[in-house]
Amino acid sequence: MTTTPLTLTRRGALGAAGAAGLMALLAACADTGADGKAVSTASGSGADYLTAVTSGPVATADVVAASTWASAVKQAGTLRIGGTRTSLVFSQEDPATKKVTGFDAALSQALARYVLGGDDPQALVEITQATSDTRETLIQNGTVDAVFATYTITPERAQKISFAGPYYASGQAILVKSDNSTITGVESLTADVKVAVQSGSSSGPALAKAGSTTKPIEFEDDSKCVAALQANQVDAYVVDQALLLSHVATNSDLKIVGEPFTTDPYGIGLPKDSDAQSFVNTFLRTIEDDGTWKRIWEATIGKITGGTAPTPPEIGSVPGSQAATPQATDSPEATASATS
């Protein structure tokens, strides 16, 4: 059976978001978040960003004190993350206000508030620019406490760091110029097709695994890949579809073709051999259960895609995300040491 390839253009993306916004306006109602504040339960673009973030929980003092990682964050008074300021849907800085918003940004701010409390979660996060090449290094050398950067969980990466999550699932997809009619899916990415990927990302190996014979051309980050495509230096750009949505929403000369050809689970990068994974996984379960995760999705990704928030992937469900196994012992002290 032959299926028609998906082509997502700016008109389609914004049309879906606009329809969702209209439905949200008609259906909006009030609810109460974990900290007792009123929040909107509207779907799509009806959700307010800051309200969504501050609707989440704040951990009690004893919960924070029980975690060495969280206690260090508490003492520092800020959550240091590896991330970005240039990803429209996931983490972008407003040049006027210097505020950073987006799905990953919101989760990092909600986590910072979970540990530190307060009503200005955006002020609680300090961002160090992270690229696909530097994420593990930033964690390993202690420059950051965590990485929020559309960070695909893999067993190879998990040998160097720990992952909390997964908290979201995307998939590798293909971005081309709107007038390109020859590339329709991963099968079109043959040896003579120039494909941009981010340096050190999972996109290159994913292409090879999917049977593509192209030799990917690496660029430092997302913006450079898009610029290369728009300048006709490459024919296509392959990365997680979640990142490409922002580009088709803001550039009428770009489109997504075909269907995602992988499933990429995003995780929060954390120091290995620490208690950070357990603490952050507890945070993720809490915001998924109380609706904060859904409200954050509606205020960020949902504004681009429209529709209903998906169900988050099961925490610890993919290779590389499993919790470390404590050493077998009957000693409480030894067990505490093994899991700290």
Boundary-marking domain end, from 239, 271, 303? 271
Contact between 21 and 44 (Cβ < 8 Å): yes
Residue 63: both structure tokens together: 């919960």
pLDDT attached to residue 304:
78
Domain range holding 238? 172-257
Stated as kind and residue range, the H or E segment containing 54 is: helix 49-54
> Rounded CA gap, 82 and 95, in Å?
19
> Rounded CA gap, 173 and 142, in Å?
33
For 246-320, strand residue ranges (E) read 254-257, 264-270
pLDDT attached to residue 250:
86
pLDDT attached to residue 46:
32
Q: Is residue 163 part of a domain?
A: yes
pLDDT attached to residue 128:
98
Q: Which amino acid is at 298?
A: E
pLDDT attached to residue 89:
87
Q: Is residue 243 part of a domain?
A: yes
76, 144: one domain: yes
90, 147: one domain: yes
> Rounded CA gap, 245 and 178, in Å?
14
109, 161: one domain: yes
What's 222's domain CATH number? Answer: 3.40.190.10
pLDDT attached to residue 242:
80
Secondary structure of residue 223 in the 3-state scheme: helix
* pLDDT block averages, 10 residues each, the chain of length 340: 44 36 27 34 52 97 98 98 90 94 97 96 97 95 97 95 96 96 97 96 94 96 95 97 85 92 94 97 98 96 84 96 58 32
191, 114: one domain: no
pLDDT attached to residue 87:
83
252, 187: one domain: yes
Residue 234: both structure tokens together: 């490459």
198, 131: one domain: no
Q: Note the pTM of the prediction, 2 decimals.
A: 0.72
> Rounded CA gap, 36 and 31, in Å?
9
Q: Is residue 159 part of a domain?
A: yes
> Rounded CA gap, 182 and 46, in Å?
38
CA 16 to chain centre: 21
> Rounded CA gap, 328 and 97, in Å?
52
Number of domains in the chain: 2
